[in-house]
Structure 1
Amino acid sequence: MKRILLPVFALATLAWTTSCSSNDSSSSTNTPTDVTAEHQHEAGEQHDHGAGAEHSGGHIYSCPMHPEVTSDKPGNCPKCGMKLEHTDGAAGDGKTYQMNLTASPAQPAAGQPVTLSFQPQVVGSETTPVPLAVVHEKKMHLIIVSKDLSEFFHEHPEFKASGRYDVPFTFKTGGTYLLYQDYQPQGGTHQLGRQTLQVSGPTRPAVKFTKDQMRWEKNGYAADLAFDKPAQVGQPLAVSVTVNRGGKPVTDLDNYLGALGHMVVLSEDGAQYLHVHPEDQADKGPRIGFHTTFEKPGLYRVFLQFNHAGTIQTADFTVNVAPAAA
């Protein structure tokens, strides 16, 4: 089994490129699995609450997934919708993490089962165990997408006695795939791992997305994506997806991983990643509400997963985000 060291530094946002300053570094290997490590350390911009905020009775609330988002009162993160937590400026455990990936067999092939194995590590102390917190009912969320963003898979590696997190998977076709690991070390902040994996075997023509695609239809379902305002950089957006089945509104959606829906947003080049969380709502559909903010203009692919009648459906959309208003 081949081992590849895949560094992933602690992120201030779950994206590799933001309006904030950042440091880029990457490494690659010519070993058979052709796994490329890509990471950035985000230097998030902190909001100024005043020098005496903590000592004058004020408090600081921050997003567990986007620590640069802070407020002096409770609320929700405008980027991903998560509830802000009372931190008073705490910055996690101060450690830098990386993700180690191995594949068995070492060269994944289309149509052949492969075991993807992940081990979170502390940089400089790689043998130290890194216990993970449970987030949305799982310790690790693995997102696998084809490079053209036409294929999307959401997996959950399971902890093994070896100390690694393993998941069996079969790639449908050969080509380049992007792997993202969304996880949180206990006592630390959210982390995002990313690798590029080359799969051997027959390939298919790449899909080129250009126009907005705001409606999805499959398996008798239809879902419509809508924003309360035009999608442009820096614009806080209320996002809604309305689900129908057979032309009738679905009002009995079931939770999936503790929520009515899970939304992953990826930029066309795969550099911008955002896991958007639904807002609290008393009903079970047909509308699922979210909030988000785009930080870069360009084309984005939006993937929504929802649970109905015991089956997980995956809807996909395409959105062109305009530059910020002058």
Structure 2
Amino acid sequence: MKRFLLPAALLATLSWTVACSSNDASSSSTNTPTVMNPSSADAHTGHQHGAGKDHHVPAAGADQSGGHVYTCPMHPEVTSDQPGTCPKCGMTLKHTTGAGNAYLMDFSMTPAQPAAGRPVTLSFQPQATGTNHAAVPLATVHEQKVHLMILSHDLSEYYHLHPELKPSGRYELPFTFKTGGTYLLYQDYQPEGGGHQLGRQTLQVSGPTRPAVKYMKDQLRWEANSYAADLAFDKTVRAGQPLTVSVTVSRNGRPITDLDQYLGALGHMVILSEDGADYLHVHPEDQADKGPRIGFNTTFDKPGRYRIFLQFQHAGVVQTSDFTVNVTPAAA
């Protein structure tokens, strides 16, 4: 008999504590890079895809009974010990040999101390817990093995980058931090046969700092480079309720109807809570047209202020837009 194993407390957006490495010792000195300890990260994340469905990622190391586990590609919280189809969307369940593993992302830098205006090589290696240094093959998700997000602590700077796999087995990327201060790094990746994972580190970069940018009011319109993007929700933005998110893009005041595919989708959206603890990487609904509307579905787990970053590509150029949303408490 088929058993569909659902978490006991399945929320609209499933969350878990981020696995991260602690290669470099923490220090109170502003000249020493600090990497968050897994027990103190206290960050939560989800990975959501379109087709009108949320893509929830189960907790790393979640218990999976039986010798074989079959998971829905669109709804990883749906698992079975036998082949079959997903009761939510009808997709064929995929055999996931590594579903029971827990993973972490080993992180290092060269030089070990990042400084503003000076190139540094960021290096990452996914590892299965208990088998450190063993290679963990990664699946290609949206055309890349690792999606790296780098943000300044005030969430005013945002970079979506892709480290390259080197012969050493590590994924590396050269990067130059603009100013000194605190930066957040997130790595979105999926081991072959496993679920989506997220690594996170907090770095202290030496050098001159700049005043932090404060985001207070809702900012639902973005304009730059002759482009504009307008963000809208289908209902009042409250914590704990599913929301349809629409972004309408235009250029020189005219709706864009010929958006390019960017990393296999019309748009990529990353949502971060003000404190950086809650992270969502959201992909759009399936749609036959190429704009001007890009549709997403998401849920905010808790009230508070969030920053939203949307990337889309038009005429061969990627545009990065940003928004601010204040989420009210769930209705009584």
Q: What is the TM-score when the length of structure 2 is the normalising length?
A: 0.79
Question: Partner of 2:268: helix, strand, or coil?
Answer: strand
Q: Superposed, which structure 2 residues align to 1:200-239 within 5 Å?
A: 200-239=206-245
Cα distance in 1 for residues equivalent to 2:104 and 2:20: 13
| Residue 254 to residue 104, structure 1, CA distance change in 2 (3 Å) | same
Of 175, 195, 200, which aligns to 1:194?
Answer: 200
Of 246, 252, 261, which aligns to 2:252?
Answer: 246
Of 122, 125, 129, which aligns to 1:123?
Answer: 129
Instruction: Give 1:272's aligned residue.
Output: 278
Do structure 1's residue 29 and structure 2's residue 22 form an aligned pair?
A: no
Cα distance in 2 for residues equivalent to 1:254 and 1:318: 25
CA contact (8 A) 1:105 1:114 kept: yes
| Residue 228 to residue 118, structure 1, CA distance change in 2 (3 Å) | same
CA contact (8 A) 1:160 1:166 kept: yes
Of 68, 77, 80, which aligns to 1:67?
Answer: 77
Do structure 1's residue 183 and structure 2's residue 197 form an aligned pair?
A: no
Question: Partner of 2:300: helix, strand, or coil?
Answer: coil
Cα distance in 1 for residues equivalent to 2:299 and 2:73: 14
Q: Can you list the C-alpha shifts for 1:95-130, whole angstroms capped at 9, x where unaligned?
A: 111111111111111111111000001111112110
Instruction: Give 2:157's aligned residue.
Output: 151
CA contact (8 A) 2:20 2:36 kept: no
Cα distance in 2 for residues equivalent to 1:292 and 1:134: 23
Question: Partner of 2:37: helix, strand, or coil?
Answer: strand
CA contact (8 A) 2:18 2:198 kept: no
Cα distance in 2 for residues equivalent to 1:293 and 1:41: 16
| Residue 302 to residue 67, structure 1, CA distance change in 2 (3 Å) | same
| Residue 126 to residue 45, structure 1, CA distance change in 2 (3 Å) | closer
Residue 210 of structure 1 deviates from its aligned partner by 1.1
Q: Unaligned stretches of 5+ in structure 2?
A: 1-6, 8-12, 45-55, 59-69
Instruction: Give 2:318's aligned residue.
Output: 312
Cα distance in 1 for residues equivalent to 2:295 and 2:166: 36
CA contact (8 A) 1:233 1:294 kept: yes
| Residue 21 to residue 261, structure 1, CA distance change in 2 (3 Å) | closer
Cα distance in 1 for residues equivalent to 2:107 and 2:14: 30
| Residue 37 to residue 262, structure 1, CA distance change in 2 (3 Å) | same
Of 302, 308, 311, which aligns to 2:308?
Answer: 302
Cα distance in 2 for residues equivalent to 1:314 and 1:243: 12
Do structure 1's residue 256 and structure 2's residue 270 form an aligned pair?
A: no
Cα distance in 2 for residues equivalent to 1:68 and 1:179: 29
Q: Can you list the C-alpha shifts for 1:246-280, whole angstroms capped at 9, x where unaligned?
A: 11111111010000000000001111100111011
Farther-moved stretch of structure 1 (157-166 vs 65-74): 65-74
Q: Can you list the C-alpha shifts for 1:55-89, whole angstroms capped at 9, x where unaligned?
A: xxxxx9746576279995343xxxxxxxx854499
Amino acid at match of 1:306: F
CA contact (8 A) 2:184 2:201 kept: yes
Cα distance in 2 for residues equivalent to 1:155 and 1:19: 25
Do structure 1's residue 94 and structure 2's residue 100 form an aligned pair?
A: yes
RMSD: 3.0
Residue 19 of structure 1 deviates from its aligned partner by 8.1
Cα distance in 2 for residues equivalent to 1:155 and 1:88: 28
Tell me the number of residue pairs that the alignment of Structure 1 and Structure 2 aligns: 288
More strand per residue = 1
CA contact (8 A) 1:262 1:306 kept: yes
CA contact (8 A) 1:251 1:285 kept: yes
Residue 33 of structure 1 deviates from its aligned partner by 2.3
Residue 147 of structure 1 deviates from its aligned partner by 0.7
| Residue 19 to residue 244, structure 1, CA distance change in 2 (3 Å) | closer
| Residue 33 to residue 21, structure 1, CA distance change in 2 (3 Å) | closer
Cα distance in 2 for residues equivalent to 1:171 and 1:20: 30
Identity of paired residues, percent?
Answer: 63
Runs of 4+ in 1 over 3 A off after TM superposition: 18-28, 37-42, 60-66, 68-72, 84-92
Cα distance in 2 for residues equivalent to 1:45 and 1:309: 33
Q: Superposed, which structure 2 residues align to 1:278-293 within 5 Å?
A: 278-293=284-299
Amino acid at match of 1:30: S
Question: Partner of 2:139: helix, strand, or coil?
Answer: coil
Cα distance in 1 for residues equivalent to 2:321 and 2:239: 24
Amino acid at match of 1:114: V
Cα distance in 1 for residues equivalent to 2:150 and 2:320: 13
| Residue 187 to residue 34, structure 1, CA distance change in 2 (3 Å) | same
Amino acid at match of 1:129: A
Residue 34 of structure 1 deviates from its aligned partner by 2.2
Residue 162 of structure 1 deviates from its aligned partner by 0.4
